Amino acid sequence: TSNNSLPPNNNNVTVEDDRTGLSIPTLKRAIADNLFYIQGKFPTIATENDYYMALAYTIRDRMLQRWAVTVDSYLQSKTRVVSYLSAEYLLGPHLGNNLINLGIYDRVKQAVEELGLDLEHLIAQEEEPGLGNGGLGRLAACYMDSLATLEIPAIGYGIRYEFGIFDQEIRDGWQVEITDQWLRYGNPWEIRRPEVTYEVKLGGHVEHYTDSHGHYGSNWVPDLVVKGVAYDTPILGYQVNTANTLRLWKSEAPESFDFQAFNVGDYYGAVNEKVICENISKILYPNDEQIQGKELRLRQQYFFVSCSLQDMIALHLRRGGKVENFYETFVVQLNDTHPAISVAELMRLLLDEHELDWETAWDVTTRTFAYTNHTLLPEALEKWNLDLFASILPRHLEIIYEINRRFLDEVAIRFPGDEGKLWSLSLIEEGEEKSIRMAHLACVGSFAINGVAQLHSELLKETVLKDWYELYPEKFSNKTNGVTPRRWMVLSNPRLTELITSKIGDGWIKNLEELKGLEKFADDGAFRKQWMDVKLAVKKDLASQVEQQQGIKINPESLFDVQVKRIHEYKRQHLNVLHIITLYNRLKQHPDLDIVPRTFIFGGKAAPSYHVAKLMIKLITSVAEVVNHDPDVRDRIKVVFMPDYNVTNSQKIYPAADLSEQISLAGKEASGTGNMKFSLNGALTIGTLDGANVEIRECVGEENFFLFGLTAQEVEQLKSSGYNPWDYYHDSLKQAIDQISSGFFSHRDGSLFQRLVNSLLYDDRYLLFADYHSYIECQDRVAEAYRDKDKWAKMSILNVARMGKFSSDRSIKEYCEDIWKVKPVPVELYDLCPDGE
Ligand code: Z15
């Protein structure tokens, strides 16, 4: 069945079902119906949000048949299901995406218009589920979209945080965090499954016993039991029947609580315990690539992992499977080490709850898991303090010790007499503070280990996982990240989508390599003109939004130079700032200098406890204030910090960019995925040879990519030969730094940015100074290139035409073939209730 064709309107159907019909009169009736029967409002008093809710339920109704049939067909079938375990899902709003994937966007737009409403306004009502921090969570969301689109049986497991990533406000140039309240007005996309619950133990101690057959057993006596309740959200594929499930766990107190408290009379104690239980899924930790080792975070990780594995085992048994064949039903992908406790938890479930012997349990476990590493930053590698770990997961500590003992025995045989190997591979880090190395647990328990871009995967094997690669080379592979063209093109850039489709048809939406077909239009003058017209129209949209929201007038004809991503020293937003100051100083020195007008756009959140990152935001806004108001600049440069960068806002930003800033220090950004979204929307990249930039450059052609900076190898060499930032501290760089530290941008307050300046002058871990000159020189080339609009148009078209590789569909196909060994299972719609009973 095609989603684009009109619903069957044959002779025996005169009135469409209000819950499934797709004709415009039916859609209108359904919206009005939901407005009254769900929101309880007449049109006269309904708010825009009421209408959004009514529309959301109308669309959900149209997904339910696909969803129920998909779930049912997986239960019936014998094929493997991919289970994606992630502590974060940065989904973005559902409504627009579901309309695209159902193929009914235009029709619903018309229906809504006929009701006197505007679809874009309604879509804008949705509060996005910000259940992630940045790239890692967004990748999980893109992968869920591709899994469904490719008709792969899959389930995503995670945590239903009550408060997602904070909302960011900028006050006096500083970041202020505001609690996210995405559930405030209810969430029409999720369904609570009160019958799908599991108990999760925490704390306490372990008792050992020998049963009547002489078998050893362990009995974990917890001091707290929490209940996980499933909340399911359908994830629809693009123009297919598959609707997979995202199952997020909410923590609650078990029912038995109130009862116990009543008996004992300890009312305060019981309520307190209830609060402790509910706290587990309350809030997302707002750090990206920065661990804090907090107890609650470990509880969160274990909580969702335990619920998910118990659920998988239950589903496997329901399919008639035997527990020792678990891996035939599920292959479990660990999204970083956040769910790595899975390895110990599956062992515990198999040993203690299902009474398998160690060898069988270990065999099942190591056939089940695969691990994706997302970072090389040492400060982001998860370690748990041993005492903390023992106090929450005493049984898992025993299991980890036993895994480690057996593993190190093997290592000792492989590398006789090599004490160093034992130290470096051990799951336990010895030293002043003992800790558990979660990446090592993930490596030992997984049959596959991958990085997220070619360079990253190579560096993994040479650095943080070197010893593991030596031991198990066959486990390692690369799976370069990708992004979904449905959200990041079709939904966010309808103008470009239409232009591209008018030339090459719409096959590219599912098969992104078809964008290649645009290459032959790159020299077509009329097409270039249309291309640049689209870009200009999109830039005007963003410009008016900026003016409306911040009162800053920006010139849509200027070069939109954009850096949006989490604020982090390794991503080097401050290098971008140094370029702005350099340009500003040139203008001050030569007021009539003919420069290419630029608008610098920044966006991104800083982890609340990451002081230097917050100071970087203050630096951007301070430089903006000076530059934007200096009459000598004559509006030739403008600097904008877009507050509250999130999925919703980003959908308006990527399409409007001319230049994409991907300027991390080589070797630090594992992949990046924003880099792909920009280039796919026709921005050119200025970037280092880092992460997926390397592959993007290979694909789009080096002549269509602005490269600068040291390579990862050169970085290593420079660091080992003793890097000294003072060697680079002269001329325009010195001038810029001295201005920052003298208070030029901070009302003569010379102390404000001192920590930031000192971190550069006396350490400069991310080699800003070493890359500065190369960056400035490259930016000058960018400006010159932008003067020739026709040439620029060609480069932009070629970027898009050659980005086919970076679809998350391609990434997922590689996971399916190389790691998961699963094939598409098309879902046929059938009536689950044939007699209507
Ligand atoms: C995160 O967003 C990423 C890695 C991490 O280890 C954590 Cl904790 C969070 C990002 C990488 O920084 C980025 O380069 C990559 O593209 C993304 O994960 C998805 O793989």
Distance CA 128, CA 183 (A): 10
Distance CA 732, CA 730 (A): 6
Atom of ligand 1 nearest to the CA of 290: 8
| Whether pLDDT at 781 is above 60 | yes
- DSSP line for 409-454: HHHHHHSTT-HHHHHHH-SEE-SSS-EEEHHHHHHHHEEEEEESSH
Q: Which residues contact 242 (CB under 8 A, 6 or more apart)?
A: 66, 70, 148, 149, 151, 152, 236, 826, 827
Residue 690 beta carbon below 6 angstroms from any ligand 1 atom: no
Residue reference for tokens 């925490």: 202
Exposure b/e, 716-728, CB count within 10 A at least 16 = b: beeeeeebebeeb
- The interaxial angle of helices 573-589 and 768-787, nearest 10 deg, is 60
Structural contact between residues 284 and 88, judged by C-beta atoms closer than 8 angstroms:
yes
Instruction: Quickly state the pLDDT bin for 214 (edges 50, 70, 90).
Output: confident
Residue 382 beta carbon below 6 angstroms from any ligand 1 atom: no
Residue 101 beta carbon below 6 angstroms from any ligand 1 atom: no
pLDDT one-digit tens code per residue, 551-595: 999 999 999 999 999 999 999 999 999 999 999 999 999 999 999
Distance CA 789, CA 791 (A): 5
Structure token pair of residue 30: 């359904």
Structure token pair of residue 44: 């006269």
Q: Which residues contact 213 (CB under 8 A, 6 or more apart)?
A: none
E-strand stretches of 604-720: 637-642, 659-662, 684-687, 706-707
The phi, psi pair for 500, rounded to 5°, reads -60, -45
Let me know if 416 is exposed, middle or buried by CB neighbors in 10 A (0-12, 13-18, 19+): exposed
For residues 37 and 272, which has the higher predicted lDDT (pLDDT)?
37
Atom of ligand 1 nearest to the CA of 291: 8
Distance CA 700, CA 91 (A): 28
Q: Which residues contact 494 (CB under 8 A, 6 or more apart)?
A: none
Predicted local distance difference test score (pLDDT) of residue 266: 80
Distance, CA 498 to ligand 1 centroid (Å)? 32
Let me know if 6 is exposed, middle or buried by CB neighbors in 10 A (0-12, 13-18, 19+): exposed
Distance CA 405, CA 399 (A): 10
pLDDT > 90 in the chain, percent: 93
Distance CA 461, CA 814 (A): 20
Structural contact between residues 155 and 243, judged by C-beta atoms closer than 8 angstroms:
no
**Number of helices (H) and strands (E), helices first, in the chain?**
32, 24
Atom of ligand 1 nearest to the CA of 481: 20
Q: For ligand 1, pick from 375, 382, 568, 663 the residue to mutate: most ligand atoms within 8 Å of CB.
A: 375
Residue 289 beta carbon below 6 angstroms from any ligand 1 atom: yes
Q: How many CA atoms lie within 13 A of 836 on its CB side?
A: 0
Question: What is the helix (H) or strand (E) element at residue 698, kind and residue range?
Answer: helix 693-700
Atom of ligand 1 nearest to the CA of 134: 2
Distance, CA 335 to ligand 1 centroid (Å)? 10
pLDDT one-digit tens code per residue, 47-97: 999 999 999 999 999 999 999 999 999 999 999 999 999 999 999 999 999
Structural contact between residues 685 and 662, judged by C-beta atoms closer than 8 angstroms:
yes
Residue 283 beta carbon below 6 angstroms from any ligand 1 atom: no
Distance CA 282, CA 164 (A): 9
For ligand 1, atom 4, which residue shows the shortest CA distance? 374
Question: What is the helix (H) or strand (E) element at residue 181, kind and residue range?
Answer: none
State which amino acid sits at residue 757: V
- The interaxial angle of helices 394-414 and 358-368, nearest 10 deg, is 90
Residue 288 beta carbon below 6 angstroms from any ligand 1 atom: yes
- DSSP line for 246-260: EEEEEEE--THHHHH
Catalytic residues: 374, 565-566, 571, 673, 677
Atom of ligand 1 nearest to the CA of 456: 14
Distance CA 619, CA 573 (A): 10
Predicted local distance difference test score (pLDDT) of residue 19: 93
273: three-class secondary structure by DSSP: helix
- The interaxial angle of helices 731-742 and 573-589, nearest 10 deg, is 100
Structure token pair of residue 362: 């270990």
398: three-class secondary structure by DSSP: helix
| Whether pLDDT at 477 is above 70 | yes
Distance CA 81, CA 330 (A): 5
Distance CA 497, CA 500 (A): 5
Instruction: Quickly state the pLDDT bin for 837 (edges 50, 70, 90).
Output: very low
Q: What is the mean pLDDT of residues 229-240?
A: 98
User: What residue ranges define each of the domains in the chain, with the CATH number in brackets?
Assistant: 1-6+19-76+94-127 (no CATH), 77-93+128-481 (3.40.50.2000), 499-806 (3.40.50.2000)
Radius of gyration of the chain (CA): 28
Q: How high does pLDDT run on average in the chain?
A: 96
Distance, CA 49 to ligand 1 centroid (Å)? 34
Distance, CA 377 to ligand 1 centroid (Å)? 10
Interstrand relation of 330-335 and 81-85 (parallel, antiparallel or unpaired): parallel
Q: Is the CA virtual torsion 416, 462, 441, 360 positive or negative? A: negative
Q: How many CA atoms lie within 13 A of 572 on its CB side?
A: 29
Residue 380 beta carbon below 6 angstroms from any ligand 1 atom: yes
DSSP alpha helix (H) spans, 191-266: 256-264
pLDDT one-digit tens code per residue, 749-775: 999 999 999 999 999 999 999 999 999
Structural contact between residues 61 and 30, judged by C-beta atoms closer than 8 angstroms:
yes
Predicted local distance difference test score (pLDDT) of residue 215: 83
Let me know if 746 is exposed, middle or buried by CB neighbors in 10 A (0-12, 13-18, 19+): buried
State which amino acid sits at residue 156: G
Instruction: Quickly state the pLDDT bin for 211 (edges 50, 70, 90).
Output: confident
Q: Which residues contact 618 (CB under 8 A, 6 or more apart)?
A: 173, 174, 752, 753
Distance CA 608, CA 630 (A): 32
Predicted local distance difference test score (pLDDT) of residue 146: 99
Q: For ligand 1, pick from 289, 301, 465, 812 the residue to mutate: most ligand atoms within 8 Å of CB.
A: 289
Cβ-defined contacts of 756-760 (< 8 Å, 24+): 756/574, 756/612, 756/615, 756/616, 756/619, 759/569, 759/612, 760/574, 760/725
pLDDT one-digit tens code per residue, 409-463: 999 999 999 999 999 999 999 999 999 999 999 999 999 999 999 999 999 999 9
Structure token pair of residue 384: 């748990």
| Whether pLDDT at 829 is above 60 | yes
Predicted local distance difference test score (pLDDT) of residue 255: 79
Q: What is the mean pLDDT of residues 659-666?
A: 99
Structural contact between residues 323 and 316, judged by C-beta atoms closer than 8 angstroms:
yes
| Whether pLDDT at 208 is above 60 | yes
pLDDT one-digit tens code per residue, 286-345: 998 888 889 999 999 999 999 999 999 999 999 999 999 999 999 999 999 999 999 999
pLDDT one-digit tens code per residue, 137-190: 999 999 999 999 999 999 999 999 999 999 999 999 999 999 999 999 999 999
Distance, CA 454 to ligand 1 centroid (Å)? 15
Predicted local distance difference test score (pLDDT) of residue 9: 47
